[in-house]
Structure 1
Amino acid sequence: MPAPTLSSKLPDVGTSIFAVMTQLAAEHGAINLAQGFPDFNPPAALTEALQRHTLGAQHQYAPMPGLPRLRELIAAKTAVVYGVPAPDPATDVTVTTGATEALYAVLAAVVQPGDEVVVLEPAYDLYGPAIRLQGGTPVYVPLTLPDFRPDWDRIKAAITPSTRLVMVNTPHNPTGAVFSHADWQQLAEILAPTQAFLLSDEVYEHMVFDERPHRSALQYPELRERAFVLSSFGKTYHATGWKVGYCVAPPALSAEVRRVHQFVTFSVSTLSQLAIADVLGDEASYDYLPAFMQQKRDLFGELMRETRFELLPSEGSYFQLARYHRIAPTEDDVKFARRLTTEAGVAVVPVSAFYHNQTDHGLVRFCFAKQDSTLRAAAERLRQL
């Protein structure tokens, strides 16, 4: 008999642009400012804690929702940072294999075939495919240029009786835009008469600049009761390869996330959780981040003034968008990104990759979470364009 054939559930989805550009960078010896990862180590206290626990006795599965001590510390940190009642660590906090798994678990738990999910674009490339894998329909609403602010009238118009979930991301990848208090108030008013849930992707919560606060969905009671809020220790501690994140949600919502989580990864690396728990209780392990990353943003901005790129404002995250119209006014962003990697030796991400229909605004994304020497070397190459 002939071998069975497999019909793809995502026939239009290939390898992610981040993997593509990273591979291209490796092939051409380019400086990789494309993929969002630091090229410096996590805090010494964290790696020392990991080494210490590696020599210990706890090498078996952690409890499915996460180590109790780590969940208790997450709850305490949430209360301190946001000035809100602490979530119940037993019922409201779930440790996941990165925020990516948390995001997928939320979508798998919430979205039923035929449901609609409102997504603000540009958006992280996981959102759309993960929605579609659950049988849902992404409903895309563009953020407004040039500052990528939400158009609340369009968002309100996009919500229908079929809307199951609204997804937001602040600080925003790829644009660096940050939600204001007024933004959260608008969203709360829009969602109040609906049965829609909220997924708030806040993985860059500790990277907000120029004295702005990061405002979380957890600070708005009318949103908190319907919200899944995602965070990432990989981002906070410069340890993306550890893949440890978490979801904070009310008990009934967390229970559904855990139903999925237990059959996707079941539990997260015990050693990583032990090490993170050893440092998380110290506020100094994360409250230095706004100034630390702002210094890198400002250094990169100063270096880029000597190039022909036009930088857009970055209020948060560790990403910087730039226009390249003074270099290649008629070239699409994918071709330009590839040429920049192969000819100039600096890898970036074309922003059209963050749109479901590859909308091209002539923008590329740089990651500035790099050593100062890396940023200086990249800028030197870009000055030659």
Structure 2
Amino acid sequence: MFGTRVSRMRWRSEAGRLVTVMAVGFGLTVVITRLYLMASGYPKIGGNTYHIAHALFGGLLLVIACLMMLLLIGRTALTTAAVLSGVGLGLFIDEVGKFITADNNYFFPLAAPIIYLAFLLIVLVARYAARTRKRPPALVLAEITEQVGDQVGARIGPQRRDQLLDQLNRLDRRTFGPEMVELCTALTDYLKAAHEDTRPALMTRVVRAATRVEAALLPLPLLRALLIAVMFAHAIWTLLRLVLAVVVMAGWHTPWRELDHLLDPSQNHGWKSLVGLGIAAVAQVVVALGYGAAAVLWTRGRTELGVRLGIWSSLVSLTVVNVLASYFSQFLTVFTAIAEALLLWMLIRFRTRYYAAVGE
């Protein structure tokens, strides 16, 4: 009964963290690769006869990541495989323009939205995997057994040991048979007797240090004022740019050709593409109004509603506006997406710290 019930596929408890690591590796790899190629003049490896595309290196890293998951055990192996798979996927999909065009066009406009959508899909999978799920006690016990097995013969940190012991104590053993109850007891005894690593894990030390620096450099009142100012500026700049874009597309031009190109994304695109540009423009208006309303509400003391509206405005911009805008200006969209992702993260951090402070 026990073996039959737990042998099926199930979510790892750390699935959300691992896929998030993969998503971060993916996003950073695409951005760094494109910026490096642009700065270096798009060099080629292989000479006149061969062309060794970086997609091949991406495939190699994906193979290495798969081998690590198949051959090795432990959290370190899984985390390393998540990093390598993210980097490998980023190198591979960065050349998607060559795979979908007859002339191997790396700069094909549709490539950027495909890359962006793939990144968003992985992020959504990460958030879905991180959701708390109610699982049968037998499945929880099987996972704890696997995790304890990874720690056999090694020192275990006190935080990790307390976490595993807490999971064991919260199991409803009334549904277990005698052999499963005995396994729970054995696991508890082993964890209590295991050699303890008194030093905090590296990531724990980094997080603690970052939290102290954040509290010192960005206290909540300063962070609040900064976020309100950024959202106001974002709303004003978005509306201003839309107005200037309409003026330029109508025939007026500035003395600077580069600025005209920046303001007129319709250049060299057909009417079908302009439909997507129109949808993006409408979504940008919604985002600008959302940021503006969030900032006004926040200044009037409605903190919770203001933060929530700012978060939703960021999500709409990241998932709708940037997907469509990347077709017209992939490099500008990259920087815009990074800035808006940072704004979203800061809003979420403010909400977390604010609720913690209110709870105290």
* TM-score interval, smaller chain: under 0.3
Whose relative contact order is higher, 1 or 2, with alpha carbons under 8 Å and at least 6 apart? Answer: 1
The structure in which a higher percent of residues are helix is 2
Asked which structure has the greater CA Rg, the reply is 2
The structure in which a higher percent of residues are strand is 1
TM-score, with normalisation over the residues of structure 1? 0.22
